[in-house]
Structure 1
Amino acid sequence: MWTDALGNAVTLDSGAALSAVDDFALGFIASEARAANVLAAAQADGSPLLQAYAAAVHLFAESRGAAGSARPFLARAQAGAARATARERRFIAAVAAWIEGDTARAIALHEEQAREHPRDLASLKLGHYHLFNRGDSPGMLRLALAALPAAADVPYLHGMLAFAWEQCHALEAAEASARRAIAMRRKEPWAHHALAHVMLTQGRLTEGHAFLAEVSDTWTGLNSFMVTHNWWHQALFALELDRADEVLGLYDRQVWGVAKDYTQDQVNAVSLLARLELAGIAVGGRWQDLADHLAARTQDQVLPFLDLQYLYGLARAGRTEAEVLMRNIETHARTSDNPVWRQVALPAARGLLAHAQGRPAEAVDALGQALPRLVEIGGSHAQRDLFDQVYLDALAGSGRLGGAQHLLQQRCRAQPQSRRLRRQARGLYGTLGLASAADTLLAP
């Protein structure tokens, strides 16, 4: 019997597999690319946990074909499960539930693992992934807190805890946990990410921009999602500060082009281009290059949060695949066991498509149905804010200026450092015949 780097007993065919187990477990919680090393190791070693880890890596492709790629590894894991520990068998069962689409079962297993084996932080991180995609922030917090007494020495747990606190709107606790993680290990990109969320939410735009610039030298060896997503956050700070050239440069150099075939890199790109356009900044031919990669996503329907952004990107590029994806979303919404597709994702998709195609009144009506429950499609507050921005733009574009002012004024009050919002608000107040009152309305 061997022991992994976090102190968990592991069943291996040979000691040579231990480094691959550690690469996955530590690489996954540290957002490092070395987690994928388990794929090569799983070809040479039949250790059940190693096979389950490899299956999980394939499932992170978040595509229609991911389950098929993962099944052979899961089958080998299950074949060897009788000689594995209870902890390993539970992880294998959680991956099996994920493959079958039973994320409720997977979450329950990860919660049990956190109670029974709180130093299995790879299991905890995977539980966070599923909970995040369901919009269950309290579940994320509960899971991280369960592990805290036994794993407080691990900086990555504090980073996970920070994000859970932030998504539960406990911003002060989130900042404390993030700073504790960073004090323990400066290279803790998930803690950087959580603290960026806090600073954005609190309107600390200049401070947030400076903070990410200061720690960005540590973003080496990360998986493509983590590095592009942290740069995406830096781009959000720059956009609020009205630094258009910087945002476009970050898009071209840091956000898009690292792994153009990966789902998360694609939605980062869609979200940033959409925000640039909503801020009145021309993006040139960037939609076309992005849409060339989104076109392969029309049949995915894995996570509604992803499909909605694929749809918007394809529509903004004027691609016929947008209509194909819309029809596939409609079909999936009718047949899926998950009511979120029908009750939330479908009206949201109709609204986003209408906005992208220049029908703002339709966009308002459809998005208005979805927004109150949008948390259920997953994504973070910062990511889902795109849909609120689209709704606000649709209100203004359809002539519902009172509603637009109601929302935009609140945003300006919450983000007094945002030059983008102030510029947009002055334009709206000019249209409303209130240009002379704008200074009073926008006073801090």
Structure 2
Amino acid sequence: ESASRARLCLFVVQAWQDAGLVLSTSSNEACKLFDAVLTQYATWTNNESLGGIEECLSKLKAADPNFTMGHVLANGLELIGTGRSVRLDRELGSAVTAMVALSKAQPLTERERLHVSALDVFARGQLPKACELWEQILQSHPTDLLALKFSHDTYFYLGYQRQMRDSVARVYPFWTPDVPLSSYVKGYYSFGLVETNLYDRAEKVAHEALAINQTDAWSVHTIAHVNEMKAEVEKGLKFMKETEKNWKSSDMLACHNYWHWALYYIEKGEYEAALTIYDKHIAPVCLASGSILDIVDNCSMLYRLHLEGVKLGDRWNDLLGVTKKHTKDHILLFNDVHYLMSFLGAKDHKTTEELLTTLQELARAPHEDHQLSLAPHLGLPLCQAFVEFENGNCDKAVDLLYPIRYELVQVGGSDAQRDVFSLLLIHAALNSKSETKRNLARCLLHERDLLRPKSPMTERLIRKAAAVHSMA
């Protein structure tokens, strides 16, 4: 039975109390809508039978305008979507201020107060502190799905891979089969296992989750990562084809799963097949959704094809329409560097310059913002390396990237997503004028070859390195 049908008995006031997760409202309708939004967020799906997240959120506000946890849910989804921040967005700033004021004017549970505090510090850019507060909630309320999912996503943005895994491990025994959505928690755990290189266990746990619910797009995504990290291309392609019908309606994650599918084709050097997926399932979705994950996937996909020497036509310019409005966001460095790829691809020098100068300005006085505090020694050199490479200064790109390669995990994202930075370093070293740097390229390729045995892309690059070496 699909998750949506299994979950249509949404929790009312009493059910939340019985679950040990008291919600301070007398409105059963507000409680049911809170559950409906949380369910859709946890399962990566705007579920039509529940009305979709946006519609449920507006009904939730109407059902009880003073329901603090309703405000926590709405503001948290805005902030964790990383497309808006209180620094840029007065409306969101007012919403967070109103939530904090509301929480002070009401008798709330300790758990609810911690939720408000966590979002308050998150809004100021103190992401690690927000995670500490969510962990505090989880120690006494291990089945608080909102705290679990908010912390999981935030650890991901921080590049805190072990924390992402262990946060779920600590509460895992409490998610017994009778707890709603428990199989999805297996999916979250499996992803933490992938990101800490425990591939076999990750795959096993993801398959356990899929055996309970085959529409779990996040567990599919874990298996896509396992196949990507091991360069098991044929296995990856087969799995995506066989499961597509189960996950393609998970609209918040489908584009990302198609991105993984296309990566296998790039790995094989089958660029037309990759572009077909891009044109059909990635570009149109991104233009329609404006979701940051979809935008990042778009930029990353085109940039990988660009590194492979593929002609991309007008695709960069089409993407510019979506990325340009985020030039001055600087919410996550990971997002910034992906927007930058699109500006460079479209040869938009003015916007490139604007992104770099506004980031430099903010980085001078990061205040409490964790991401901005990383900009001087990580974010800016990373961005600059892309610019130098595009300007043909390969030596300079290597000099910027090589010293920080092991720290780049701190800009967040997954190992698979950050691989584009490793590829940039390899391509820059391969195309360098210096023999020392070309030797470095060969060393980096040996390293890659042992990590991902039989990778067709690595084999292509090793042949290229040998050709460059014989010409020198």
Q: Is the 8 A contact 1:111 1:143 kept in 2?
A: yes
1:158-197 superposed matches below 5 A: 158-197=186-225
User: Which residue number in structure 1 is paired with residue 83 of structure 2?
Assistant: 63
Partner of 1:85: 109
The one-letter code of the counterpart of 1:168 is: T
- Looking at structure 2, the residues matched to 5 and 300 of structure 1 have their Cα atoms a distance apart, in angstroms, of 40
Q: Does 1:408 align with 2:428?
A: no
Q: Which residue of 2 aligns with 1:295?
A: 324
- Are residues 418 and 284 of structure 1, via their aligned partners in 2, closer, same or farther at CA, if it must alter by over 3 Å? farther
Counterpart mapping for 1:129-278 below 5 A: 129-153=153-177, 154-224=182-252, 226-260=253-287, 261-278=290-307
After superposition, the Cα gap between the structure-2 partners of 1:264 and 1:305, relative to the gap in structure 1 and judged at 3 Å, is same
Aligned length: 433
User: What CA distance in whole angstroms lies between the structure 1 residues aligned with 2:201 and 2:222?
Assistant: 11
Distance 1:40 1:6, change over 3 A: farther
Q: CA deviation at 1:413?
A: 4.2
Matches of 2:55 and 2:148, distance apart in 1: 20
The SS at the match of 1:3 is: helix
> Does the 8 Å CA contact 1:267/1:306 hold for their aligned counterparts?
yes
Match of 1:40 among 58, 63, 70: 58
1:419 offset after TM fit, Å? 2.7
Identity of aligned residues (%): 25
Given the superposition, is the C-alpha separation of residues 115 and 292 from structure 1 closer, same or farther in structure 2, using an over 3 Å criterion? Answer: same
Deviation at 1:41, TM superposition (A): 2.1
Is 400-409 or 246-255 further displaced after alignment? Answer: 400-409
Conserved 8 A contact 1:316-1:357: no
TM, length-normalised to structure 2: 0.87
The question of 1:336 aligning with 2:366 is answered yes
Choose which of 16, 21, 28 in structure 2 pairs with 1:15: 28
Equivalent of residue 363 in structure 1, options 394, 397, 408: 397
Shift in Å, 1:297: 1.4
Residue in 1 that maps onto 2:37: 24
Residue in 1 that maps onto 2:146: 122
Residue pair 2:33, 2:56 contacting (<8 A) in 1 also: yes
414, 420, 444: which one aligns with 2:457: 420
Distance 1:144 1:332 in 2: 34
Distance in 2 (alpha carbons) for counterparts of 1:314 and 1:5: 51
CA, structure 1 residues 279+285, in 2 after alignment: closer, same or farther (shift >3 Å)? same
Per mean C-alpha deviation after superposition, the further-off stretch among 34-43 and 387-396 is 34-43
Partner of 1:74: 96
CA 1:84–1:323 in structure 2 vs 1: closer, same or farther (change >3 Å)? same
Moved more, 422-431 or 18-27: 422-431
- Change over 3 Å in CA distance of 1:104–1:409 after alignment to 2: closer
Asked whether the equivalents of residues 182 and 191 of structure 1 are also in contact (C-alpha less than 8 Å), the reply is yes
Give the Cα–Cα distance (whole angstroms) in 2 for the partners of residues 375 and 118 of structure 1: 28
Partner Cα separation in structure 1 for residue 354 and residue 393 of structure 2: 19
Task: List per-residue Cα deviations over 1:387-413 (Å, max 9, x = no partner).
Answer: 010111101111332111111233234
Residue 132 to residue 54, structure 1, CA distance change in 2 (3 Å): same
**Equivalent residues of 2:85, 2:123 under 8 A apart:** no
Equivalence for 1:111: 135
> Alpha-carbon deviation of 1:366?
1.0
Q: Distance in 1 between matches of 2:401 and 2:265?
A: 27
Q: State how far apart, in whole Å, the 1-side matches of 2:440 and 2:172 are.
A: 44
For 2:365 and 2:100, locate their aligned partners in 1 and report how far apart those are by CA, in whole Å: 30
Please tell me whether the aligned partners of residues 42 and 54 of structure 1 are also in contact (alpha carbons under 8 angstroms): no
Q: Is there any run of 5+ residues in structure 2 with no aligned partner, and where?
A: 1-12, 47-51
Q: 1:72: how far off?
A: 4.1
Q: Which moved more, 1:44-53 or 1:13-22?
A: 13-22
Tell me which of 15, 35, 41 is aligned to 1:3: 15
* Amino acid in the other structure paired with 1:367: L
